[in-house]
Amino acid sequence: MKPSKRTRSSFRRQKFAGPVLVVAALLTVGSAFSIASALPSAQKSEVSAQSTLIGEGKQIFLKGCSSCHGLNAEGGAIAPSLIGVGAAAVDFQVGTGRMPMADMSQQAMRKKPLYDAAQTAALAAYVASLAPGPASVDPASLTWERDGNVAQGGELFRTNCAMCHNFAAQGGALSNGKYAPTLMGVEPQHIYEAMITGPQSMPKFSDKTITPAEKLSLIKWIKAAQTEPAIGGASLGRVGPVTEGLLVWTFGLGLLIAVAVWLAMKAR
Amino acid sequence: MNSEHNNEIEVARFEDPGLPAHVYRKTDTDARAANRAERQVAALFLLSAVGTVGTIASYIFIDSKKFIYLPVLGDTNAQQLALGTGLAASLFFIGIAAVHWAKTLMPDHEVIAERHEFRSSDEDRADFVATVKERAGAAGLGRRSLIKRSMGIALGLVGLSPLVLLRDLGPLPKNDFATTSWKAGTRLVTDPGDRPIKPSDLEVGAVAQVLPALAAGEERTLENVGKDAVLLIRIRPEEFNLDAKRLSWTHDGIIAFSKICSHMGCAVALYEQGTKHLLCPCHQSTFDVTRAAKVIFGPAARPLPQLALSLDSEGYLVAKQGFTEPVGPSFWERNSA
Amino acid sequence: MKKSEQVAGSVASYVDDRTGAAAWAKKNLTKVFPDHWSFMLGEIALYSFVILLLSGVFLTFWFDPSQQQVIYDGSYAPLSKVAMSSSYASTLHISFDVRGGLLMRQIHHWAALIFLAAIVVHLLRVFFTGAFRKPREANWLIGIGLLTLGIVEGFLGYSLPDDLLSGTGVRIAEAIMQAFPVVGSYLSYFAFGGAFPGHVFIPRIYIVHVLLLPGIFLALITVHLMLVWYQKHTQYPGPGRKETNVVGYPLMPVYMAKAGGFFFIVFGITAFLGAVASINPIWLYGPYTPGQISAGSQPDWYMGWMDGLVRMAPPLETHAFGHTISWNILLPGLIIPGILFAGMAAYPFIEAWISGDNREHHLLDRPRNVPNRTALGAMSLSFMVIALANGGNDVIATHFHLTINGIMWFTRIGLFVVPPIVFIITKRICLSLQRADREIVLHGRETGRLVMTPGGEFLEVHEELTPEKKWTLTQHDQPTPIALPAKGSASALSPSRIKDVLRSRMSEANATSVASPTETEARELESGHH
């Protein structure tokens, strides 16, 4: 498990969220740790704050999540148990807007998050309090810009990720209408959390098979792919030869034939 | 629907009125229009010249690392774009100018040319046949059957030597298709990274791309990877639906399959954790991990070969034995019985 | 005489004294070419070939066709220090460190896609207008040969950079070789110099791509054009156009200017595509290794139909006597393409046999007047389009929120159901168009103007067609089916009798048409009206 210390920051409502978040973040991780290690006495005072947060999270959970996931997050016919999924899973699913789902479709889509950062942190704290699981990832701890190796990241990506997310991280089709989403615009902490929690169809990538340092390299490569310039002109969606063929048959041949028609037309 | 009309004898069909009268263009009748067309052609040629100058200028003066933002295209390499559009203009406008010139100023009277019949006259044909017969007779092809037959043998054989000379294009496959580097006790190591793996390193729902560990001094070639690549998956042991033998090849919910598709050899690495299906991105064969990679969709005819797992003395995952069947696509000598 | 004319004159005499070319040149400079946009499609292919030669030579100056592993140290940072083959590294070098290199690569690849697309539309034009009929069967065969080799050439070309996508394609090609019964594994080991991917395949296909196949192309294209030249171009039917003449513009100057100009236009448009649209961004794919793969791995479009067939193939293998035959590879990868191309090559001869038509044809058919052929063409086209669509089913699925499994089943069934439906519908459309032609010739064009008769009735004024138009719509032959010969003494099941029956049945279907209106009918109608 990654010993990170806080939950995600918010890029919305920053003024209000900041202080709350720091507290919330510390507590969330603390809750995961409390199982494994004895709590240092210095943090005793925070325990009560933490339980408040967990309480808040539980209230949000009962209102927004329990109808599918069960009153005690034990899961139901249409939704999995959340016991042991950890704060990271909550932060990923709720922070990217996937949860709560808009409808019971094949797959939860990324959308505008319903809960703000503080609410997400509270939810995460509640779910983390049920059983130990991966903690949320603090963006500040992801020093990918400094420590990542983009070329190594590319190699890891092509071996572990490209088969679903495509060579340029544009996403791809899975079986029966499921799909691997595009990684364009995804935040580093969410990429990290996805790797350690394995949301939806995605498998988990343990820290032993892809080390935390390698994960930073992966993030660096994905960030590079997100800002990859259109070196040779319009990128055509970076999905391979399909769109290239389409362009040739429409624009290319269309223009050539249009010119041929003009060429063979008698001038007036 | 077939009509009887065309069987009647005295049916008058419509007649060919012949080539319509020539319609003169504006440039034929109006000198000013002609002059305008001339100026247009000239302007188009000059546009091409501008394109060429632009191409050369951008080759020399634009920094090849400079990017500019353009709508639709995005951040584009300035030099590549300028060179390309300049070149395109220099070529395109020559063409447009020439065609415009031809259409407006060159004579546009349609010309009729008669076709010649391809068929030679009957005499020529007869002469030809006679000549061939006579010449062939002079060579004695008909009479001297010994020559004819031996020539047949010689010509029939002569093509064989180049074929034989191609033999050294490659070695004989021998048993290579059926073998991999996996042996009993070979450690599974991460790809990339070459780190050995303990069962505890994989959580339920985790995958790892693995290769066989290298012995000291060994190097891993792409040929090895092409046969050795393996996917390691961990699920809950109770989710397996395997016979006793295959179950004994797993370790505590960890199962390993050859990553080389049994259909056409692509890397079948697309694992859907939710459904526990493996999907090949090339031709979409779908394999069920819980049932020893049984094919449940797509063109693959065989499951992916399963690699038997066990632990070595240090607790790392190793192959219990090599693959018991050839990995990858089928081939003639493959015995699947 | 002006000075320049004197010089030209003396050059001409010098050449003619030694070759006697003046008479030939005089005749050919006034050679007549009919003008129609659809006659330019083959030229697009020809010019794309020239563009391919020019841009290809440029690329060879830097490309290193070697599978030696090197460590990349060029200017594309995301691949810095990555191990890759020299092929891949030198392609990166062309793309990032040779000024105009990426442009040339993109022009080369776009030109290849246009080359094959133009060959296909040219082929369709020739097919639907019956331009393949006697005496042009040989040129049809050469065309099929060029298309086949073009597909191979294109595949070899995009395989050269040794990137992850093309390497995957080569892997699949290797699997097809391996699938050949009896000799498969030998074929693969000889082609790759041992186990896949080996170190010799790219150098080998390089020489095939830049020397062997272009040489064959040059030879075939030369013969193709010489035959067009010698046999003279076909022309569309119309007033003054006969089987015995050719109506158009002389080579010099009009056709020279137009055809020459068109070369520059094709080159210009290709260069424009190369400038503004990215193609085969190999730096994104990464170097090839057999352990990696990208979602949505497809070939270029001209192989896409075959990949689509492979995807939808049934999971069939025969295991017997210790041997394996992979029908799931052989069927879509060799047998069906083989049947399609052999059928295409044989079509002119099959049609001539069915119709019994042994005459020379220089006037083209209007597709509606040959419903069977047109329907067959449309049917084959629908087959290819369905196969091609399945070749991109993953991209279609993600972009239109469909499922790959759904598309796969749709195309699996559609491949058998849609083409016959297309055949029937196309044939009906052709016959309706023939009927419309007949109507319009006999009753004139509806003008939309209403007039009131003295009796108070409203009638729409019909405008009579011009004689030119009438001729164009009625000049075609009325096909007559071959009657079934008398049975004679042969048994009903003897091969020759079956052949006769088959021929006369097909001939009858082939001859289905609406009677072309005649002058006689028009006159009868007129006398009936008044």
Given a contact cutoff of 8 angstroms between Cβ atoms, the answer to whether C312 and C332 are in contact is: yes
Q: Give the rounded distance of the alpha carbon of B42 from its chain centre.
A: 44
Interface of B with A in 114-143 (CB under 8 A): none
List B75's β-bridge partners, or say none: B69
Residue C191 Cα, gap to closest chain B Cα (Å): 7
- Length reported for chain A: 268
How confident is the model over A120-161, as pLDDT tens digits?
A: 998 999 998 888 888 888 888 999 999 999 999 999 999 999
Residues of chain C with pLDDT under 50: none
Span of A61-75, A231-245, B305-319, C158-172 with lowest mean pLDDT: A61-75
* Interface-testing mutation among C95, C162, C165, C317, with chain B (most B C-beta atoms within 10 A): C317
pTM for the structure as a whole: 0.92
* Residue among B94, B282, B302 with most chain C CBs within 10 A, to mutate: B282
DSSP secondary structure letter of residue C133 = S
Please name which of A22, A13, A47 lies closest in space to residue A33, comparing C-alpha atoms.
A47
C286 and chain B in contact, CB less than 8 A: no
Q: Which residue from B67, B267, B271 is facing A203, i.e. has the nearest CB?
A: B271
Which of C35, C81, C266 faces A256 most closely, judged by CB atoms? C266
Task: Give the whole-angstrom CA distance, residue C409 versus residue A183.
Answer: 29
Considering all CA atoms of chain C, what is the largest pairwise distance in Å, rounded to the nearest integer? 95
Quote the DSSP letter at residue C458.
E
- CB-based contact (8 Å) between B71 and chain A? no
Tokens matching residue C148: 């086949």
Closest CA to A181 of A194, A87, A192, A193: A194
Per-residue confidence (pLDDT) for residue C521, from 0 to 100? 85
**Rounded Cα–Cα distance for residues C343 and A102 (Å):** 53
**Is the CB of residue A211 less than 8 Å away from at least one CB of chain B?**
yes
C398 within 8 A of A171, measured Cβ to Cβ? yes
3-state helix, strand, coil in chain B (%, to 5): 40, 15, 45
Interchain contact C257–B (C-beta under 8 A): yes
Closest CA to C205 of C154, C138, C242: C154
What pLDDT is attached to residue A117?
Answer: 87
Proportion of chain C above pLDDT 90, given as a percent: 78
Instruction: Give the ipTM of the model, two decimals please.
Output: 0.93
Residue C328 · residue B280 · CB < 8 Å: no
Backbone angles phi, psi at C321, to 5 degrees: 50, 35
Separation CA B45–CA B51 (nearest Å): 10
Tell me if B82 sits within 8 A of B62, measured CB to CB. yes
Q: Which of C258, C265, C315 is facing B102, going by the closest CB pair?
A: C258
Report the distance separating Cα C194 and Cα C207, nearest Å: 19
Q: Does A228 touch chain C (CB under 8 A)?
A: yes
Q: Of A65, A7, A63, A8, nearest to A31 (Cα)?
A: A7
- pLDDT of C478 reads 85
Interchain CB distance below 8 Å, A204 and B269 = no
Rg of chain B taking only CA atoms, in angstroms? 38
Which pLDDT score, from 0 to 100, does residue C388 have? 96
Whether chain C has a CB inside 8 Å of the CB on A201: the answer is: no
CB within 8 Å: A174 and B270: yes
Cα–Cα distance measured from residue C84 to residue C81, given in angstroms and rounded to the nearest whole number: 9
The burial of A224, by beta-carbon neighbours within 10 Å (0-12 exposed, 13-18 middle, 19 or more buried), is given as middle
Tokens of B170: 């490659």
Burial of A87 (0-12, 13-18, 19+ CB in 10 A): buried
CA distance B218 to B230: 19
Confidence of residue B267 (pLDDT cuts 50, 70, 90): very high
Label residue A75 by pLDDT band (50, 70, 90): confident
Which of these, C56, C307, C292, lies nearest to C165 by C-alpha position? Answer: C292
pLDDT, position B5: 47
CB contacts, 8 Å: B99 with chain C: 257-258, 261-262, 265
pLDDT at C110: 98
Do the Cβ atoms of B73 and A234 come within 8 Å? yes
Give the chain C residue nearest A182 (alpha carbons): C398
Look at residues C272, C353, A30 and name the one whose alpha carbon lies nearest to residue B81: C272
Tabulate helix, strand, coil % of chain C (nearest 5): 65, 10, 25
Looking at chain B, the whole-number percentage of residues with pLDDT higher than 90 is 77
Report the distance separating Cα C128 and Cα C462, nearest Å: 32
**Residue of chain B whose alpha carbon sits nearest to that of C293:** B267
Q: What is the mean pLDDT of residues A254-268?
A: 94
Decide if pLDDT at A6 tops 60.
no
Q: What is the pLDDT of residue C264?
A: 97
Q: Is the CB of A205 less than 8 angstroms away from the CB of B104?
A: no
